[in-house]
Copies of this chain bind each other. A is one copy, B any other.
C-alpha cells in the first residue's frame, strides 16, 4: 500500500516539504491543500510589490499549482481549507471553498505548513476595512491597487518593525503622507538595540515620513487612528505589529504547542504525534546562541525546516540544528542586519558580555562610493565567544552579517574572528573588514 502525505498550506514550507519528500520517495502519494489562490510565493516580496520595485504579483510566485502537479506529481488542491484534524482517525475534514462541499481526507503522514498571521490586537475598530494587515499575496495586490489609485493620501503605519518600515517607505514612494507609530522608544525595537536604531530613524525622517515613537495606538474610528497622544488622520492604516504562528488547527487537534503557541517540533521537524510534522512559520525552532526554543517567522527558516521535514518524511534522515537569529532589510536607503542576541536578549538569557561598537566603511576609505557602516558586537566574558552582531549602514553594509552568522554557528570567539581570512580589495572592503574591526575592539574590552 502507498503512503499518503497530506500537506496543509501551499506556501513556502508546505510546498518545499512536498517537493523534497517527492524527490526522496517517488512512490509517495502527496496531496497539498491550500485555502487561498496562490502556491509558493515570496511573502517577503510583498512590500516590494506594493512599493513598485516588483512589477507584477506573478513575479513573486516561484511555482504555480500546475507546475507542482505536472513536474512533481503533487496533487495540489487550491481553495481547500482544512476545518479539523482527527489525529486518532488519521483523517482531515476539508472544505472545498469553491464547490462549497466538505470532504474527509485520510492521511498517513501529515505536515503542518500553516504559516503565521499578522498580529491584530483587540482594539476598538481594528476590524474596519481600512485597517489592513498583510498576510497574503492578495492583501499585497489590494494595497498596491489602493496606492496606485492614490485613494490613500494619509497612511498610518502601526508598528516600526520590518514590515511596518517597508510599507511606510512603499506608500511614501507613491506620494502618500505617511505617519509611522510605534509604542517603543526606537524603531525596530525587537530587532536592534536602541543605540543602533537612531541613524535608521533619521534616514526614515529624511524621506519625510513622520516617526512617532513611544506612542500607543488605542483604536480606529472614522478614518482616524486614536493614540494615547492624539488622533491621526488616515485613509488607510497598515498593521505591522509582527506575526504569530497560525497553529490553532493543530492545537485544537491536540498537537502540542510550545513557545508563543508555535507547534513544538524536534530537530527532525516531528511534532509530539507520530507521523505528524510541522515546518516554517507555524512551528517553533531552536536558538543556537541562547539555547532556547524560539519562534522565528522568516522565509529562510521556512525553507530550511521544510527541506529537513521533506527528507525525513520521504524516508531519509536529516536534522535541523537551529537558527542564530539572522535577519536583514533595507529601508529608505539604509541597510540593517542583525544576528545572534541583542543586548536586551543577551542579558535576559543570563550572559555577561562586553559591547563593541565601531564605525568603518563598506570599501577602502579612499575608494569612491565607500559608505559608512556601524557594527556592534557582543562578546561573552571569559573566552570571548561572539554572542551577537548588528549592522546599520549604506549600500554593501548589511550582507557582511553573514560572516558573523557563520561565526556564531561555529561558536567562534572574537579572537578567532580577528584571524579570519576575509576578502579584501579596495572596491569591496577596508583591509580590516568592519566585522573584524568590531571584533578587535571587543577583544580589547575583554
Contacts and interface: CB of A to CB of B under 8 A. Distances in A.
Interface centre among A400, A421, A433 (most CB of B within 10 A): A421
Given A45-B364, A409-B416, A433-B402, A326 B426 contact: no
A309 to B, nearest CB: 14
A252 B356 CA distance: 45
A42 B364 contact: yes
A432 interface: yes
B426 A405 contact: no
A60 interface: yes
Interface string A402-423: 1101111110100010111111
Q: How large is the interface on A (under 10, 10 to 19, 20 to 34, 35 or more residues)?
A: 35 or more
A334 to B, nearest CB: 12
A341 interface: no
A53 B369 CA distance: 10
A421 B410 CA distance: 11
A248 interface: no
A44 interface: yes
Interface string A31-72: 000000000001011001000011000011000000000000
Contact of A423 (B301, B327, B367): B327
Nearest to A319: B419
A266 to B, nearest CB: 15
Contacts of A298: 424
A401 interface: yes
A255 to B, nearest CB: 25
Q: How many subunits of this chain does the assembly comprise? A: 2
Interface centre among A298, A303, A307, A424 (most CB of B within 10 A): A424
Given A398-B423, A399-B400, A410-B412, A42 B366 contact: yes
Contact of A326 (B401, B402, B419, B423): B423
A324 interface: yes
Contact of A428 (B328, B364, B368, B431): B328
B400 A402 contact: yes
A305 to B, nearest CB: 10
Nearest to A23: B444
A114 interface: no
B402 A423 contact: yes
Nearest to A411: B410
Contacts of A26: none
B367 A301 contact: no
A303 B398 contact: no
Interface string A271-310: 0000000000000000000000000001111011001000
Contacts of A12: 431
Nearest to A307: B418
Contact of A424 (B300, B366, B368, B412): B300
Shortest 3 CB-CB contacts between residues of A and residues of B: A410-B410, A328-B423, A59-B366
30 contacts: A42-B364, A42-B366, A42-B426, A45-B364, A53-B367, A54-B366, A299-B424, A300-B421, A300-B424, A300-B431, A301-B421, A303-B431, A304-B419, A321-B419, A324-B421, A327-B423, A328-B425, A329-B425, A337-B423, A339-B423, A398-B423, A399-B400, A399-B429, A402-B420, A402-B433, A405-B420, A405-B422, A406-B422, A407-B410, A409-B419
